[in-house]
Structure 1
Amino acid sequence: MSPLLALPTLWAQATASPAGQGVPSPWLRNFLFWAFLYGEPSIVPDSGGGYLGGWLVWIRSISLLCLIGWVGYWLVTAIKERYLVRNRWYDYVALGAFFMIFVSVLLRTLEEAKQIPAYKVGAFGLTTLLSYAVVLVLVLWAELGLWRTIRRFGKAGDVLVLLGVHLALLFGLGVGYGMHHFGFLSGVTAGGKEATLADGLLLGARLSATYMGYVILLRMVVAILRELFSVRGRRLFAIARLTVHEANRRMWAPWVVLTVFALILAFTHWFLVPPRPAEMGRLFVGTLTLLCSMLLTAMVTLLTPLSLPTDIQQQTIYTVVSKPVRRLEMIWGRMLGYMFLVTVLIVVFGGISLAYLWRTVGSTIRTTEQAAVKAKAENRQRDYRLLSDQADQLRSRMQARVPVKGSLSFLDSRGTPHAMGIDVGMEQNMREPRSHIEGATAATAIWSFGIVPDPFSPATRPRPLDRRIPVDEFLAPGTVEGQLDRLYGLQSLVVQEQRAKGNPNLSAAEVSKAEQSLARNQAEVERVRGEYEALRKQSADLEAQVAAEADPTRKEDLQRQLRKLHSDPIAIEMTFNVYRTTKGKVGEPVLAEMRVQNPRTGAENVSIFAVKEYYTNRQFIPAAVLAGGGGDLKVEIRCIPSTQYLGMAESDLYLLSSKGNFGVNYMKGLFGVWLQAMVLTAIGVFAGTFLSWPVALLTTIAFFFAGQLAYSFLIDFTRQSILGGGPFESLVRLLTHDNQMSELAPTAGALIAKTLDSLVMPLMSPLVYLVPNFQALDVSNTVADGFAVTWGAMLSNTLLAIAYALPFSIVGYFILKNREVAA
């Protein structure tokens, strides 16, 4: 559930909460709301957060990393310059507090395992007070080191940042106090429980960490802006050109990649055997995009980490830094050079791949269609249907279909609603699990379109999903269905205005204005109704003429005119699987019933079709069913045979909006590979600024594999939702052969493992957000399945890639700026 969608409702409820000491003014309420959103690091919205959710996560993560880096830098400087760790009394106190962290966590673990009683001092637990004392001592020790070091070695800007950090701390505490004072804290963070002033101050301290990071981030932004004003395009171009020349001269990398691509492509059709003829397009498209991705990733991974360390080692970088070249130009210039190579290779790979696909898959489609025509001419109906289905499936994969998806929920055999259907024990894809419905019962799979509640959200706090159908894409203006939809919309508007007019609190001027608007819309209703009736009468006349016409040419012309009066039928595509409890009769299809209903107008369409396993089922419904629904629709699927189960996932049924060009869609898929290469280039250049080339190479490889193969696991790791506990507890389970579900016996080893996990997990969790989500940038499966990569998805992926690449490049700039690379 996305917290961003639930927070406004909770905020509104909190204004009337008895916990509050009065209702704040609207500007103060909004200010606290946005201050909380920009400060609370634990709010991580899911895909429902959209661009706002992504921005909040990014800016909060960057600010916290800035805080950690800034404090770490000055503390290391303080230790090196002997302002800390000088065998003074406060150093020993800080050392004792450091060891008390382990003691306090161990006591908390023992309390949770019920090995010791939970002692309390007043309203606070003993372990809680001990934790607060440890944190306070370490903060004071760090504060002492920061003030001494910055006053001695820092500039005026560093002193201002230190003052700003303390003001941010006070601001965070003030926000936490304000949220408690006005009753917001109980509704948002305490699960509805009564919150205390200590809870507000604790929240304020957590918020202040993010706010302090914003102060440091502002200092970095100012420094970067100053550097940007000194950046020149000619120098960037010169460094980029030099990078391209080095890549060709040192390793012949582009030519090696092209040669390997050509060699593999020449023999690809020898080894790629699709499991079914209809899967040929998906197999070939997925393989080609994977080949492009692997070759470009390997090239970038090998080139980028070697560039800067090799120049520094061979001292060739001196000829660059001795010129008026900015450090940021050195970073971005190299990135531009490598991305130029990647761009050229992407274009070449895309052109060769498309030609190969047209030659292989395209020729197979044409051959299959010709075989289907021949089978029909020879009256081999079974072969004709089989070959026609194969050709249709192949052609569907070589398109860019635009689906409109709904939200899936289920009714069991008793008619009770559920978020999931029956689990028959088949292997599941946890990203989108499949459920089954029982045949010949009331069990139903329901796809809901419109503003619908998330079936997986709590019933007491439903999360709304926007699954509205873009009616304008299905109902053409000027047609019978288009005018009918417009008539329904105007009638709904008239009803709303009539209700608003009856409001007794309206002034005379507002009542007069409402009456004028109502009269205007009523007149418009009559006009649109007249146009609709005229179109419907014209359609009926043409239908009668078509039925009476004997001349084929004239009849075809009349049918063409009739089609222009109506919107095209709406295609519903489905991909279901059948779980068979009995084999049944050979060749007998499994039947399913589809009921499509407009919940606003009551219009419905019922059809029965044979389920084609491993194929896309396509059914058409009249466009009039969609008219007047405002984007709402309900599609119900039932299984008819009593001995079979029908399986489906949410994306298995959709309304087909349109079809695009496959070539353009394929290049969009390769653009995802280009974005991955850009992020990997930034990581490689960043690693090369402070590591030797072997370590930089391993670091780049580690980032790629973590982001491409283990990102989902790492996210589960940060949320502590992995079965079996943290790394140390999992190690204990592995050594003792305990399963993941059972609780460990409270032995000394188990308690120590849980204690170490409690210490390590909070430290490692923020670091996971440094790993780029390469999986999100990969859209090759979408292209291979024949679905369109939308421009909105490309924009989101581009912003995501920039959000990863930009910080890496800027951190590399600061490292290179503070590193001695010239004599």
Structure 2
Amino acid sequence: MSFDVVGFDFLEGLTHFLKVFGGVALTALIVSFILALIQYGGRGPGLFFKTLWQALVDFAHTSPRRVWAITELTWKESARKKALFVFVVFAILIMFAGWFLRDSVDRADLQLKIYVKFVLTAISWLTLPVILLLSCWGLPADIKNRSLHTVVTKPIRRHEVVLGRFFGFTLVGTVILLVMGSVGYLWTVGQMPEAAKSELVGRVPVYGDMTYSNRIGDRPDFDDPNNPQNPASAATNVGDVWEFRSYIEGGTKSRTFYDFDNIDVAAAKRAGQFRIEYNFEAFRTHKGDIEKRLLCRITIVNNESGLRVPLETFEVKEFSNRSADKTIILGGTDEEGNPIETVTYREENTNEVKSVNIFDELLKGGDITVEVQCLDPGQFLGMARPDLFIRMPDRPFYITFFKAIFGIWLEMVLIIVLGVTASCFVKGPVATLLTFGMLVIGSGFSELMQSLAIGTSEGGGPFESAYRMFMHLNPSVSIDDGPLKTIMTIVDQAALGFLWTVQYLFPQFEYYNMVPFVANGFDVPWKASLLPSILVTLAFVIPCLILGYFSMQLREMEAK
């Protein structure tokens, strides 16, 4: 799996939410107060505060019974609109997909990736467009048909209508996802060849911090603030365009160090084995022995006791996608089923054969370093931070599969919230376009918006870039100091501050894409995927509910 898994910083995310929500809310309050003052004169401030107080009273007296009534009404309307016919399309895809996917690749270990990607992508692409259209066209259609008039004239508050729509469309989507997810899981398991059944697991990786030593064995202290180098600077650049991996030279003292701390030794001991999985890449400067792969050695170092245990030399199976071919197992059971808790090794200096207990000595304290060394002279071994990890006890495949379904459900809920909110102040076609636009920008342009907002793009801010284009100045050419540069800097800072706020108005939909984890046989991580998905969804529910409430209060029900 060639992507780096980084945990989500909850406090940083909460800080961003409070800044953006507070800034937007304060701006909306100031603008509303000014408009009320302009339109109503001296009565404006009183009406402004009266409206705010009425909003607080309405939210405080929310009736679950009335919300559930709107939810039931939304479910019945969706059923009448034949929204559940999406099951027919999914059933047709499942019925005939096996004909085309079964022989799509010759290697059984790639079947899991193909089947999982097909099933989860089909579920996502069939469910989300239907839900988007339902949520964007529901309220405008009710207003046009005047069916909403019989609702708002009864003792029901406007935000309860919005909440009922949220829950109603969510109920429809939940039923669709449960049925599709269950059928898709059974189909995936049933279609997997016997040779690939072992890949139906959810591997739980524990990643460490990676550093390199140079070819003479020196390992710079990258924690030193006076050291300007990055951890990959001690490695070798082989000229690969993709700089994801760095390389160590074989036949030298160059090594890669993976530092792990707070390993759950008790969990590994209960499982009866300690596993290390790798995904290294070879770079050959000469052909060598064409029948042999690169030789590699891994040494496990206990940082508390200083114990060093070199493991047996192994060949790097770089072209295999089976996790069993790239997993080093310590422990397990012997032929008679007895547990193995020791590992035998040769001491580095004396070459003396010794044995050590895996869990009580080698892993004691849970603070270890894994050293990787390439043994073939003239060859290079490439690796990145996620290319070596400690593999904790696996989780069942159905757990990680339905975590991905849960990710699709969270994305669906967010689309419902955005669609219903948009339909509160614009008509169906515009609401559809607005929601779809937020989906596209949040999915494919979030990195571009972040680079613009933090000012990392070459050529300066928007006004400096416009000035450079008008004056035909290269981005590398500096602008002379003077009043013009000062004005452009001040204006660009204000513009970048505005862009920083705007970028967080678009949800980051990449958090919801959990297919790569499941397709590659990994468990969906909590901190890197599930937690940010849940928080992003919740972060939009409250502001959208407030916006929908005031939009329904101000919207003319007679408008068609």
Determine if contact 2:419/2:431 at 8 Å carries over to the other structure.
yes
Which residue identity is paired with 1:590?
A: L
Whichever residue aligns with residue 557 of structure 2, its letter is V
CA distance in 1, matches of 2:316, 2:517: 23
Q: Can you list the C-alpha shifts for 1:45-97, whole angstroms capped at 9, x where unaligned?
A: x977743333232223221221111112122333445x6xxxxxxxxxxxxxx
Within 2, Cα distance between the matches of 1:637 and 1:815?
61
Partner of 2:504: helix, strand, or coil? helix
Change (3 A) 1:474 1:238: same
Q: Does 1:265 align with 2:94?
A: yes
Q: How does 1:414-493 map to 2 (within 5 A)?
A: 414=216, 415-417=218-220, 419-420=231-232, 421-428=235-242, 433-450=244-261, 468-476=262-270
Assess if the C-alpha contact under 8 Å between 2:299 and 2:309 holds in 1. Answer: yes
Q: Does 1:620 align with 2:322?
A: no
| Pairing partner for 2:119 from 275, 281, 288 | 288
Paired residue secondary structure (2:30): helix
Residue aligning to 1:53: 12
Give secondary structure in 2 for the equivalent of 1:585: coil
Partner of 1:814: 550
> Residue 743 of structure 1 corresponds to which residue in structure 2?
477
List aligned pairs for 1:160-199, cutoff 5 A: none
Cα deviation digits, residues 558-594 of structure 1 (max 9, x gap)? xxxxxxxxx7231111111112222333221111110
Q: Is 1:332 aligned to residue 135 of structure 2?
A: no
**Contact preservation (8 Å) 1:660, 1:788:** yes
CA distance in 2, matches of 1:237, 1:662: 35
The structure that is helix-richer by fraction is 1
1:155 corresponds to: 49
| Alpha-carbon contact 1:439-1:645 (below 8 Å) kept | yes
The residue type equivalent to 1:821 in the other structure is M
Q: 1:801 aligns with which of 524, 527, 537?
A: 537
**Cα 1:47–1:568 shift into 2, 3 Å:** closer
Offset at 1:753? Answer: 8.2
Q: What does residue 240 of structure 1 align with?
A: 71
Query: Taking structure 1 as reference, are residues 280 and 737 closer, same or farther at Cα in structure 2, changes over 3 Å only?
Result: farther
From 568, 592, 610, the equivalent of 2:296 is 592
For each residue in 1:87-141, what CA deviation from the matched residue of structure 2 results, as whole angstroms up to 9, or x when unmatched?
xxxxxxxxxxxxxxxxxxxxxxxxxxxxxxxxxxxxxxxxxxxxxxxxxxxxxxx
Q: Which of 566, 569, 586 does residue 273 from structure 2 map onto?
A: 569
Q: Which moved more, 1:579-588 or 1:593-602?
A: 579-588
Q: Secondary structure at the match of 1:583?
A: coil
Pairing 1:649–2:384 present: yes
CA deviations on 1:177-223 (whole Å, 9 max, x unpaired) are xxxxxxxxxxxxxxxxxxxxxxxxxxxxxxxxxxxxxxxxxx7xx94
Query: How far apart are 1:604 and its partner, in Å?
Result: 2.7
Q: Which residue of 2 aligns with 1:67?
A: 26
Structure possessing the higher relative contact order (Cα contacts under 8 Å, 6 or more residues apart): 2
Task: State the SS of the aligned residue for 1:401.
Answer: strand
**Counterpart amino acid of 2:237?**
D
- Deviation for aligned residue 1:449: 0.8
- Equivalence for 2:346: none
Shift of 1:471: 1.9
> Is contact 2:8–2:532 with CA below 8 Å preserved after alignment?
no
CA contact (8 A) 1:603 1:625 kept: no
SS at match of 1:655: strand
SS in structure 2 at match of 1:588: coil
* 1:695–1:731 CA distance, 2 compared to 1 (3 A): farther
C-alpha spacing 1:307/1:733, structure 2 compared with 1 (3 Å):
farther
Deviation string for 1:540-564 (max 9, x for gaps)? Answer: xxxxxxxxxxxxxxxxxxxxxxxxx
Would you say the 8 A contact 1:301–1:680 is kept in 2?
Answer: yes
1:598–1:626 Cα contact (<8 Å) kept: no
Q: Distance in 1 between the 2:121 and 2:214 partners?
A: 41
8 Å contact kept, 1:74–1:149: no
Q: Residue 210 of structure 2 is aligned with which of 396, 408, 426?
A: 408
**CA radius of gyration, larger in:** 1
Change (3 A) 1:648 1:253: same
User: Does residue 1:640 correspond to 2:359, yes or no?
Assistant: no
Residue 702 of structure 1, CA deviation: 0.9
Assess if the C-alpha contact under 8 Å between 2:74 and 2:165 holds in 1.
yes
In the TM superposition, residue 314 of structure 1 has moved relative to its aligned partner by 2.8
Amino acid at match of 2:427: S
Aligned letter for 1:445?
Answer: T
Aligned residue pair count: 507
Q: Distance in 2 between matches of 1:289 and 1:649?
A: 28
What's the CA shift for 1:777? 2.6
Q: Is the contact made by 1:605 and 1:621 (CA closer than 8 Å) also made in structure 2? A: no
CA distance in 1, matches of 2:300, 2:373: 12
TM-score with structure 1 setting the length: 0.57
Secondary structure in 1 matching 2:443: helix
- Relative to structure 1, is the Cα distance of residues 814 and 672 closer, same or farther in structure 2, using a 3 angstrom cutoff? same
Match of 2:210, SS?
strand
- AA at the equivalent of 1:819: R
1:603 Cα shift?
A: 2.5
Match of residue 177 from structure 2: 346
CA distance in 2 between partners of 1:230 and 1:328 (Å): 11
Which deviates more, 729-738 or 664-673?
729-738
Match of 1:782 among 492, 514, 517: 517
- Structure 1 residue matching 2:392: 3-state secondary structure: strand
Using the TM superposition, give the Cα deviation of residue 667 of structure 1 relative to its aligned residue in structure 2, in angstroms.
0.9
| CA 283–48 in structure 1, closer or farther in 2 if over 3 Å, else same | closer
TM-aligned CA distance change 1:149 to 1:627, over 3 Å: farther
Q: Measure the CA separation in 2 of the matches of 1:356 and 1:734.
A: 56
Paired residue for 1:230, among 32, 57, 61?
Answer: 61
- Mapped to 1, the partners of 2:315 and 2:375 lie a distance apart of 10
Amino acid at match of 2:202: A
Q: Which residue of structure 1 aligns with residue 131 of structure 2?
A: 300
Which amino acid is the alignment partner of residue 73 of structure 1? Answer: S
Change (3 A) 1:582 1:589: same
Q: Is the 8 A contact 2:38 2:44 kept in 1?
A: no
Post-superposition offset of 1:727: 4.8
Equivalent residues of 2:8, 2:531 under 8 A apart: no
Q: Aligned to 1:638, what secondary structure does the other structure show?
A: strand
Distance 1:797 1:704 in 2: 14
Unaligned runs of 5+ in 2: 221-229, 332-340, 342-356
The 8 Å contact of residues 78 and 149 in structure 1, kept in 2 or not, is answered as yes
User: Contact (CA 8 Å) 2:36, 2:48: kept in 1 or not?
Assistant: no
Contact 1:399 1:660 in 2 (8 A): yes
